[in-house]
C-alpha cells in the first residue's frame, strides 16, 4: 500500500499542530505528514527512524493459515497479515514487557476507530497515577485504531492497537498488548474483519 499523505512543513509548523502542542521538538521530528481523517488526522512517521526490520514489508508466507488471519511473532516483534497465495504483509510491533507476555489463539471480537483507553485494574494497581479512562484522540495510548482480541466469546483485555510512541516499535514496551504505528494499524483495521483469527506465538 502506498503511503497516502500530505507532507508536513518545517519543524515550527509541526509544533503548531494541535496533536504536537505538548510534545518537544525531538518527538515532533518523527512526523513527516498525515493521512487526512475526521475527527483527527493520522500522523505518518519518518520511517528512517524505524529500524529496517520493523518497517512494513510484503513477504512470502509458507504457512497454512487462512487469508485474513493475523500471526503475531512475539520474539521477533513482527505481526503478519496473511494475504493468501503464499503472501503476507509484515509489520513491526512493540510487545509486552517481560512477565506480561502471552501466547494462544484468539479472534478479533470487535474493532474501534480512535478507541477509548480504559486501563485495567491490574495496570492501575501497578501505577495508581493512571487515569480511569482516556477518550480517543492523538494523545490516547491506543492510537488511531484498536482490534480487540477475544477468546471463547470473552474479551481477553489484549488488543492490537496504534501508538503515540513510535520509538517503542521493535521493543518490549507495552503491558501485554501489541502496538503498531498508527499508519500500519490503520491499514490492518481496514483489511482484517471481525471474527478473524489471531495466532500469538
Catalytic amino acids? 161, 177
Q: What angle do CA 51, 53, 56 make, to 5 degrees?
A: 95
Could you give the C-alpha distances from 3 to 7, 34, 42, 145, 163, in angstroms and in order? 11, 9, 12, 17, 18
CA distance 137 to 133: 12
Edge to edge, the sheet with strand 42-45 lists 6-7, 31-35, 42-45
Dihedral over Cα of 155, 157, 158, 159: its sign: positive
Identify the CA nearest to 196 among candidates 82, 102, 88: 82
Percentages helix, strand, coil for the chain (3-state, rounded to 5) are 20, 35, 45
Q: Which residues contact 87 (CB under 8 A, 6 or more apart)?
A: 58, 59, 60, 61
CA distance 195 to 200: 15
Amino acid at each position: 500500500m502506498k503511503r497516502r499523505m500530505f507532507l508536513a512543513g518545517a519543524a515550527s509548523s509541526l509544533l503548531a499542530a494541535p496533536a504536537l502542542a505538548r510534545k518537544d521538538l525531538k518527538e515532533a521530528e518523527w512526523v513527516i505528514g498525515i493521512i487526512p481523517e475526521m475527527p483527527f488526522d493520522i500522523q505518518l512517521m519518518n520511517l528512517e527512524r524505524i529500524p529496517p526490520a520493523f518497517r512494513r514489508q510484503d513477504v512470502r508466507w509458507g504457512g497454512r493459515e487462512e487469508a485474513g488471519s493475523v500471526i503475531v511473532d512475539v520474539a521477533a516483534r513482527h505481526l503478519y497479515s496473511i494475504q493468501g497465495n503464499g503472501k503476507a504483509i509484515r509489520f513491526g510491533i512493540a510487545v509486552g514487557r517481560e512477565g506480561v507476555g502471552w501466547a494462544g489463539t484468539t479472534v478479533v471480537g470487535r474493532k474501534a476507530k480512535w478507541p477509548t483507553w480504559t486501563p485495567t485494574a491490574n495496570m492501575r494497581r501497578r501505577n495508581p497515577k493512571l487515569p480511569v479512562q482516556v477518550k480517543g484522540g492523538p494523545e490516547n495510548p491506543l492510537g488511531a485504531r484498536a482490534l480487540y482480541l477475544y477468546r471463547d466469546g470473552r474479551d481477553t483485555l489484549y488488543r492490537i492497537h496504534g501508538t503515540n510512541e513510535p520509538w517503542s516499535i521493535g521493543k518490549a514496551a507495552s503491558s501485554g498488548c501489541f502496538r503498531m504505528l498508527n499508519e500500519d494499524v490503520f491499514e490492518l483495521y481496514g483489511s482484517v474483519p471481525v471474527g478473524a483469527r489471531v495466532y500469538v506465538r
